[in-house]
A = this chain, B = another copy of it.
Amino acid sequence: MAEGKKPTSGVEWRINVEDGSSRTLFPEAGPTCRLWVGLKGLMAGLVSNVWSFLVKAWELGVDDPRKVIHCLKVGMALTVVSLFYYMRPLYEGVGGNAMWAIMTVVVVFENTVGATVSKSLNRVFATTLAGFLAFGVHWVAGQSGEKLEPVIIGSSVFLLASAATFSRFIPSVKQRFDYGAMIFILTFSLVTVSGYRVDKLFKLAQERVSTIIIGTSLCVLVTMLICPIWAGQELHFLIIRNMEKLANSLEGCIMEYFNPDGDHTEGEKQPDKKLLGYKCVLGSKAAEESMANFARWEPAHGRFNFKHPWQQYLKIGASMRSCAYYVEALTSCIDSETQAPEQVKKHMSNNCRKVSSNSCSVIKELVKTMKTMKKSSTIDLLVEEMNSTVQDLQNDLKHLSNAFNQPESPIPEDKKTETNTTTSAATTIPLIEVIPIVTFASLLAEVAARVQDIADAVEELGKLAEFKVADDEKPPQQNQADSRVVAGQV
């Protein structure tokens, strides 16, 4: 802008701009010019803010296209219901009843099928119930004379609104009928207040209920027929994803502990990111609860029956969180200032890795069980194997202990090769230095115990949901060999 103009004074200030060129600076600027510059700055700030917001939104959409589909579904349902009423001459001018259908669609349409169905049923039943009650009150009020009428209406609104509000605090009501209680208060107040003559009111209310039913039916149809998102399925996959994350965290933890500066390029992912997956497990309690709550409103879908035991998923989630607490404790061992000497670590590393990899095998088998929804034939064996490696780990600690207590004691023949290095290493090391690894190993054993709890919870789910036995059974020997290969690889 400035470069085109001729400078007004003989002296010229020039400034080098980032792209290499230089620009003329004008020494003075009038208030209009400064205002312009200020406005331009403001606009630029606004534009960059809006731009970064749009970029974020775009990333969100790319990350989960189903969210975009949901938005289009809402837009569609609303357009259909709007135009339906807009174009019918029946509703010309009044628009009063059209409102109820539009309002219903806006308020009831939710991301998941379960949430939409739950809100729809709540809305329809609460409206009907409150409508009938309100008629009764209205009739009684109408019979009792003009002076008493506002008193009866006022006190009934006060009492029922207070009671319904209170019911929203009761956990069992809040979980299922929170929205219904609100709609009940709303409808009751509206109907008692909105008119005098009961017969007219009845027609009005009938129309309202029918428009609400049209709105909710449209919502339920759109949400179930066009790319449905089932709360139950979401819960199922959330639990599976969290299991995988937990296994990855555990693996990452062991890798990080025994290879602190180690071969990170080997893995495909940054170990830090993998390691922190357990935090998702810790943070998904609220999501699990709300999904389990909505899932029970859903009809049978995919491999899930109407009476699928969704509550059991919460138990699995709780046992996973309980396991994640210990993984959190393990990660703090990695960052701890005091570390065991390398040779002790090296000695213990083998069995620690085995416990970890066996625990991971159990979790991965559970993931498989959940994914296929078929009873695993190898899970008991894998749990047993995990427990036996935990026993090995504890024996390791015992050997470490023996090394301290009786350095001169005869080592049993069969253990000789295994404990040899320990003995020689440990006798030169004070106990205080092995404390970190002892803690680490104990925590690891606790993790394994928690993994068994998860396995129990999944087994319970299998019983409740009547999982079938897997067809593609491998002979147990081969599986055992598999898990050993995994153990060796980690």
Binding site for B on A (CB under 8 A): 53, 56-57, 60-61, 67-68, 70-72, 74-76, 78-79, 82-83, 85-87, 92-93, 95-96, 98-99, 102-103, 106-107, 150, 153-155, 157-159, 161-163, 165-167, 169-170, 182, 185-186, 189-190, 192-196, 283, 285-286, 322, 325-326, 328-329, 332, 394, 397-398, 400-402, 404-405, 430-432, 435-436, 438-439, 442-443, 446
Contacts and interface: CB of A to CB of B under 8 A. Distances in A.
B446 A332 contact: yes
B107 A154 contact: no
Contacts of A67: 166, 169
Contact of A190 (B71, B92, B103): B103
Contact of A401 (B71, B95, B190, B432): B432
Contacts of A430: 398, 401-402, 405
A326 B331 CA distance: 12
Contact of A157 (B61, B75, B446): B75
A431 B193 contact: no
A189 B86 CA distance: 11
Contacts of A185: 74, 78, 106
Contacts of A397: 431-432, 435
Contacts of A329: 325-326, 329, 443, 446
A283 B107 CA distance: 29
A86 B79 CA distance: 35
Contacts of A87: 150
Nearest to A197: B93
Q: Which 8 A-B residue pairings sit nearest by Cβ, starting from the closest?
A: A401-B431, A75-B162, A95-B194, A439-B442, A75-B158, A71-B162, A71-B166, A71-B165
A83 B283 contact: no
Contacts of A163: 71
Contacts of A194: 95, 98-99
Nearest to A56: B170
B161 A75 contact: yes
Contact of A328 (B61, B95, B155, B325): B325
Contacts of A99: 190, 194
Contacts of A68: 166
Contact of A150 (B75, B83, B196): B83
A169 B78 CA distance: 18
Q: Is the contact region of chain A dominated by helix, strand, or loop, or is it mixed?
A: helix
25 contacts: A60-B170, A71-B163, A74-B161, A74-B162, A78-B161, A78-B185, A79-B154, A82-B153, A82-B192, A86-B153, A95-B190, A99-B194, A102-B190, A102-B193, A103-B186, A103-B190, A106-B161, A106-B189, A286-B286, A329-B329, A394-B432, A397-B431, A397-B432, A398-B431, A400-B431
Contact of A195 (B95, B190, B404): B95
Contacts of A190: 95, 99, 102-103
Nearest to A187: B106
A405 B400 CA distance: 12
Contacts of A71: 161-163, 165-166
Given A170-B60, A328-B322, A78 B158 contact: yes
